[in-house]
Amino acid sequence: MSIAAEAPRAAWDDEYDVIVLGAGAGGMTAALIAAIEGARTLLIEKTSRIGGTTARSSGTVWIPDNPEQRRRGISGDAASARTYLQALAGDRADASMIEAFLAAGPLMLDYLEQHAHVRFRCYEHAPDYRQEFAGAAQGGRPLEPLPFDGRTLGKDFERVGTPLPELMLLGGMMVTRGEAAQLVRSTHSLKACMLGVRLLLRYGVDRLRFRRGTRLVLGNALAARLYSGLLGRGVPVWFDAVTEALVDEDDAISGLIVEHGGQRLRLRARCGVILAGGGFPSNALMRERYLPQPVAQYTPATEGCVGDTLDLALDAGATLGTVGADNALWFPSSITRRADGSTAVYPHIVLDRAKPGLVAVNRAGKRFVNEAVSYHEFVRAMYRSQRVVQTIPALLVCDRRFLWKYGLGLIRPMTPRLAPYIDQGYLKIGETLEDLARTVDVDPGGLVATVAQNNRDAATGVDTEFGKGTSSYDRANGDASHRPNPCIGPISEPPFYAVAVVPTPLGTSLGLLTNAAAQVCRAHGQPIRGLYACGNDMHSAFGGEYPGAGAQIGQAMTFAYLAVKDAVGAQQRSAPVADPAPVNRRAPQPPSRLVPTSRVPSGSVR
């Protein structure tokens, strides 16, 4: 709904060139690039921290044909990536969006490196997720953020969102996946032992001054580095600010209404408003409406991703992209309660499912998937199997040897005491497979038969049912020291254990329809002047598919770059006009046409 234009037009309380809503990777990238371009920029964040879901993530950025590849002499990757994305997404993706991503992704990385010292390093051996499609790469496209020293932020370090506690060591020490793999070998490797000593010494010194370790890696490093860039350029970040409405003048978004610091302010955005609110994975009502049944009850995404920025745009005349089969990007996660009563959602990404000596089973005790597939495809398989037999939750089953060597979910390798996990019901145990099956309400005969077949396959190295370990992606996450197949091992040493996993959306792929310039569009494809979207607020450029590690953040940062370039460029191209709405720093006046949205998201995307 809108309020009819009034004359004369109301004054603004303040003016900016670019206003960005949301301080995740996409939003901070947009704000930083806008500031570098010389635009007066404001970043609005409704929570008290920066980073969004990025701060909880691996921070990986998937960009084909990236500068790090070129430095290693790899060229022509854009062509094979195009083949891969077209085969993966088919007609579910707009070809122009894929082309924009492939062209702008490397430019975005070059730009940030040159102007903001934001650098990454290659994961050289990180295969794309869907190796069955032509054009899939064996590595190089995913990029890892360089570590960042949180001490350089001073008091602003407290503004950086905290990683999931379960993914840190000793209550606050961050390590990369590679470092974690080394630390497991610390009792057998001097190099690994020395790494552990260095990390522990640094962490001990940090805890004398800070609430957690300041050696930041993964998504925390990326978020903190972008935030540091904003602070260095004097970009204001408004925390705990609620955007109530967009202002529509002459069928263009010219600003917004925001409540901040006890004031309700009307702010002009001369070049544009960029939406980067993170989609709606944390909105229970929207999950109920748009995600498959049975609906996910939990998410590892940050609490602020509730779709309110989508509501702002939809009330302004925007539309959603094509509704897909699942509309989300998935993790299988195990759930438990923390000591403080809060819910822990632990994503089972790559540390356990692909290792030899584990099977995932449904209520019939039968396998339903190659356990080593990507987390996204694993959950899709859960939903497919659910149509036939109860598979949500699914059970990850292993034996004593596996649990000690690899860990399982929250239980780290070489954990000496399992009683706390068993007592709280997180870890199920049985002296025999039949005992375990009855404990977890799985058909005993089915589970015994499944494990017997797994053990026969482990001897030959051939998964006769799902082909586990045949792709380079599977093998990269298995145990390279295990023969003959790094992903298949026997389950034979009692006691036997199980952990339940359920579908959890780490992000949503259903978002606002945009064009290749990241302009938000109406139903017929006409862009809404002055309104842009990136990240999970934007409908997936890959049609809801997940091509490789870091595809979400890579997409978010690339279209943030395109949004700013278009918004600032459009302003520079336009002829100067008299300002019809002078700044009034006193009490705000009623807007010309106000596009409202509820302060508490309704959850009903229209």
Contact by Cβ (8 Å): 492, 236: no
DSSP 138: S
Nearest CA-CA partner of 212 in 300, 147, 151: 151
Residues 6+ apart with CB under 8 A from 407: 351, 352, 413, 415
Q: Where are the domains of the chain?
A: 169-211, 328-504
The C-alpha atoms of residue 131 and residue 174 are separated, in whole angstroms, by 31
Nearest CA-CA partner of 552 in 86, 101, 44: 101
| 3-state SS, one letter per residue, for 150-204 | HHHHHHHHHHECCCCHHHCECCCECCCHHHHHHHHCCCCCHHHHHHHHHHHHHHH
Nearest CA-CA partner of 563 in 516, 512, 518: 518
> In this predicted structure, what is the pLDDT of residue 572?
64
| 3-state SS, one letter per residue, for 50-116 | ECHHHHHCCCCEECCCCHHHHHCCCCCHHHHHHHHHHHHHHHHCCHHHHHHHHHHHHHHHHHHHHHH
Nearest CA-CA partner of 353 in 375, 381, 377: 375
Question: Tokens 């859960």 belong to which residue?
Answer: 382
Nearest CA-CA partner of 334 in 304, 379, 399: 379
> In this predicted structure, what is the pLDDT of residue 191?
83
The C-alpha atoms of residue 36 and residue 376 are separated, in whole angstroms, by 36
Q: Is 409 left (phi over 0), alpha (psi -120 to 50) or beta?
A: left
385 backbone dihedrals φ, ψ, rounded to 5°: -65, -30
> How much helix, strand and coil, in percent to the nearest 5, is found in the chain?
35, 20, 45
> In this predicted structure, what is the pLDDT of residue 574?
57
Q: Residue 197 carries which side chain, given as an amino acid letter?
A: V
Q: Is 154 left (phi over 0), alpha (psi -120 to 50) or beta?
A: left
Residues 6+ apart with CB under 8 A from 598: 308, 311
The C-alpha atoms of residue 333 and residue 335 are separated, in whole angstroms, by 6
> In this predicted structure, what is the pLDDT of residue 188?
73
The C-alpha atoms of residue 463 and residue 356 are separated, in whole angstroms, by 11
pTM above 0.85, yes or no: yes
The C-alpha atoms of residue 303 and residue 156 are separated, in whole angstroms, by 21
User: Mean pLDDT per 10-residue run, the chain (606 residues)?
Assistant: 41 97 98 98 98 95 97 93 98 97 98 96 95 97 97 96 91 86 74 86 92 96 98 98 96 97 97 98 97 97 96 97 95 96 95 97 98 98 98 98 97 95 97 98 98 98 98 97 97 98 98 98 96 98 97 98 94 51 38 37 34
CA distances from 136 to 64, 74, 141, 195 (A): 10, 15, 10, 34
Q: What's the burial of 329, exposed, middle or buried (CB within 10 Å: 0-12/13-18/19+)? A: buried
> In this predicted structure, what is the pLDDT of residue 571?
66
> In this predicted structure, what is the pLDDT of residue 183?
75
451-455 own/partner pairs: CB under 8 Å, 24+ apart: 451/359, 451/397, 451/491, 454/359, 454/367, 454/488, 454/490, 454/491, 455/490, 455/491, 455/492
Q: Which CATH architecture group holds 328-504?
A: Alpha-Beta Complex (3.90)
